[in-house]
Amino acid sequence: MYTQTTSAERTLRVAISILAAAGGVALLYYGRVFFITVIIAFMIAFLLEPAVRLFMKIRMPRGLASFLVCALWLGCLYFAGLGLYTEGMAMLDDLPAYGTRINELVESAAVRVEGFEKNVYSTLVPRRFQDQNANQQVQPEPPGTRGKRKAADPPLTPPIQEVRLRQEPTAMVSYVYDYLRSFYNVLLMMSFIPFLVYFILSWGDHLRARLLFTLEGEPRYTVGKALDGVGDMVRAYVVGNFLLGLLLSVASVILFASVRLPYWPVVGPLSGFLSLVPYIGMPLALIPPLISALPKGEPALYLFLLVSVGLLHLFALNLLYPKFVGSRVHLNPLAVTIALMLWGMLWGGIGLILAIPITAGIKAICDNVSSLKPYGRLLGD
């Protein structure tokens, strides 16, 4: 009887765990805009926390220091956006040159593909079948029928009938409404990020103290240790990636400016930070400089960009990334790959960027909670 009860309890626990996991996945998927906004706000707060502490060392109150840091951050974003807008307006003037070059590349590729198909056809298909197909394609009309059409033949063009499109406007309006609604939700959540960042910076210590005050004994120590572990690991990941992105941006700007690449002040930082995207960083980093080099049409420039960006990405991935980030994250490659697949499936492209810090935070919690330490060792390297 005791064995049956224990087996039934285990089955019930497994079923509850499966239902809880399914509910959690559904919550993460349908509430992705909210969760992404909160996670991005915390990551930005972790990035700005050292600056707040620097202001606090000169005896400035935490609230005022947080306000100044957030103001400086928003000012940097404003000037960065202004620079992007200026370069974008200049790029609009060069759009005809880009369009002409793209048309030339497309036509050249089409001619080459057509020539390749003809070569394959002439090589694989016997000569007699080629002659037979050519004779079938060119057949003379019987005498006396040229320029005439039988009366029994149907007209070449069917009579135009009035088509009533009463449902299409409704479908179009609903599509536009759904698209604008999703875009509005994203903008609405993005507008909360500066306020969230400020409150996290100014009230973070207060909220942590109030949270620990509600606990007693061992849970207070465990929760405090877990929060410290999550903060240290995520802060190390965010700050390390930011510094590495700055180094890659500076190196890319120097390389692109040396060959007089158009719009190098914008293309360099874009290529540098896109290089940090896991697994697909190098092809993403190649897209901005290759597009910028289209009007020149110089094969040597394309080769230089491919080689320089590729070497810079490999150098950063193999030498700089382990020192800046990898030494503190301690995630094994299998856990990173599965995390990228899971969060990419749930949240799309932004999930690929947030997958590693989220997984690193989960590992930090597991490492600091005694009952979850086996799972932390499973995720670790």
Confidence (pTM): 0.68
Candidate from 88-97, 132-141, 277-286 with smallest mean pLDDT: 132-141
Percent of the chain whose predicted confidence (pLDDT) is above 70: 76
The closest of 69, 47, 48, 49 to 240, measured between CA atoms, is: 47
Write down the mean pLDDT value for the chain: 77
Is the pLDDT at 284 greater than 80? The verdict is: yes
User: Closest by alpha carbon to 330, among 378, 374, 288?
Assistant: 378
**Between residues 123 and 157, the one the model is more confident about:** 123
CA 134 vs CA 116, 122, 128, 129, 138: distances in Å: 19, 13, 10, 9, 6
In this predicted model, what pLDDT tens digit does every residue of 144-185 receive, in sequence order?
555 554 444 555 555 544 444 444 445 555 666 666 666 777
- Every domain of the chain and the residues it spans: 231-329, 330-381
**pLDDT for the residue numbered 128:** 60
pLDDT at 166: 46
Tell whether the model's pLDDT for residue 45 goes beyond 70.
yes
pLDDT > 80? residue 94: no
In tens, the pLDDT along 222-231 reads: 777 787 778 7
- Comparison of pLDDT for 76 and 96, the residue scoring more: 76
Dihedral sign computed on CA atoms, order 292, 298, 299, 304: negative
Residue-wise pLDDT tens digits, 312-353: 888 887 777 777 676 667 788 888 888 888 888 888 888 888
Task: Provide the CA 20 distance to its chain's centre, in angstroms.
Answer: 28
Contact 244, 274 (CB under 8 A): no
- The alpha-helical segments, DSSP class H, found in the chain are 2-30, 32-56, 62-93, 95-124, 127-137, 168-213, 218-258, 264-274, 281-292, 299-315, 321, 327-329, 333-347, 349-368, 373-379
What whole-number distance in Å separates Cα of residue 142 and Cα of residue 145? 6
68 confidence band (pLDDT: 50, 70, 90): very high
